[in-house]
Structure 1
Amino acid sequence: MTTTQNTTLIPDTKLAKEATDILREHGTDLIYNHSVRVYLFAAEQGRHAKLRFDPELLYVSAAFHDLGLIKAFSSETERFEVDGANAVRQFLTTHKIPEDQIQVAWRAIALHTTPGVTQYMEPEVALLFSGVGLDVLGEGFDTFPVEVREEIVAAYPRVDFKEGIVKAFFGGFAHKPGSTWGTVKADVCERFISGYKSPNFCDLIANSPFPNSIRH
């Protein structure tokens, strides 16, 4: 894989093309456009911050980051982020990518919805999180170059994205709402499943099988 700090183009490599083919085959137009925008946003953020990152690894991570929402990659019990991370591990292992790079991609996808952690990790991990944050939540919208943002969105449109991405999230883990406990995606289950409430951490502590106090 190659390392650079000046690219906002999709890497023109065999690995990237194969990742795109998988994304196109299994993903919807919404997931495809979102995933490419995430990469382009992330790569521009990395260039602006003068980070040295692997654009190919970042692109593959972006391409796979929401595949855990797709039935072909979805498990019965794992978080969708972990399903996507496991899928990228299998893909990169097949292509004989070094284990340390595979681990970076795995972490990037597994943690792409986890705030407060990724900024202390490898650039690819941090950038995937920030690219997702910009596209889904608008984080960093005002500081991102307007011309670049408009060019990216024109090429990869946000058609009914706000409503569509929430439905895509729910569709990806409606069969396993418990997998969202402790994550921001629990909000999606509470919004769409009548009467569903994510377990409360304080209640779990109170209901632990240990007695309230043990004296020696």
Structure 2
Amino acid sequence: MIQEVAGIKVPDSQLAKDAADILREHGNDLLWNHSNRVFLFGAAIGKKAKQNYDLELLYVSALFHDLGLTKKYSSADLRFEVDGANAARSFLQQYQIPDETTQLVWDTIALHTTPGVAEHKQSEVALLFHGVGLDVMGDGFEKFPDDLREEIIKAFPRNNFKKEIIPTFYEGFKHKPETTFGNMKEDIIEYFRPEYKNKNFCNCILHSPWIE
């Protein structure tokens, strides 16, 4: 395993190694490189801002954050973010991690696609959110140091990431498009299936069983 990238020490505890093994086994190169970049981007942002956060928890959260897209961990009816969060919870419970800590990791993963909320929670939640935003959509690209960004990409290459991540998302939840209602992943379904229409929030209100 790589020990340090862009001034960030990659956790090498048994817990961290076991989490990495799970992603390696059930994910692919795209998810592996993406998840590690997300960790490093988030950690570097936190370091620059002098935030207090648990590096190991951020690492485990990053490794599990897209695990819900894989066949092994994808449920039939839950948001993929929740599938990843549930997988992390089950994993951490094997190590007798305190419930409060496990819940923090669960929130960090479950909220990583929830703008307007995640960035206002605990540091680990916010940093994973920012790391994902930078790697997927380029959020904060101009503010992130060029030399650190290049070092991270050299260690964990993007390899046509922009073109491959969209179909990877779709493959992860195309069997349950209704789980994208009310969140940004609805755009992925529409990209591949423009004829599909999720529920409309206004219609949910107007056609509810309430008389008034």
Is TM (by shorter chain) over 0.5?
Answer: yes
TM-score (norm. length: structure 1): 0.93
Alignment of 1:13-32 (within 5 A): 13-32=13-32
Residue in 1 that maps onto 2:170: 170
Residue in 2 that maps onto 1:71: 71
1:143 aligned onto 2:143:
yes
Alignment of 1:4-83 (within 5 A): 8-83=8-83
Distance (whole Å) between structure 2 residues aligned to residue 141 and residue 197 of structure 1: 33
Matching residue's letter, 1:107? D
> Contact 1:33–1:156 at 8 Å: present in 2 too?
yes
Q: Deviations over 1:166-193 (max 9, x none)?
A: 1111000000000110010011011112
Residue in 1 that maps onto 2:3: none
Residue in 2 that maps onto 1:110: 110
Alpha-carbon distance, 1:9 to partner: 2.3
Alignment of 1:173-212 (within 5 A): 173-211=173-211
Distance (whole Å) between structure 1 residues aligned to residue 83 and residue 7 of structure 2: 28
Distance (whole Å) between structure 2 residues aligned to residue 103 and residue 62 of structure 1: 15
Distance (whole Å) between structure 1 residues aligned to residue 17 and residue 83 of structure 2: 21
Q: What SS does the aligned partner of 1:17 have?
A: helix
Q: What SS does the aligned partner of 1:72 have?
A: coil
> Contact 1:7–1:43 at 8 Å: present in 2 too?
no
In terms of Rg, which structure is larger?
Answer: 1
Q: Deviations over 1:118-175 (max 9, x none)?
A: 1221110110000000000100100001100000001111111011111111000000
Distance (whole Å) between structure 1 residues aligned to residue 188 and residue 154 of structure 2: 28
Runs of 5+ in structure 2 lacking a partner?
1-5
Percent sequence identity is 56
Residue in 1 that maps onto 2:94: 94
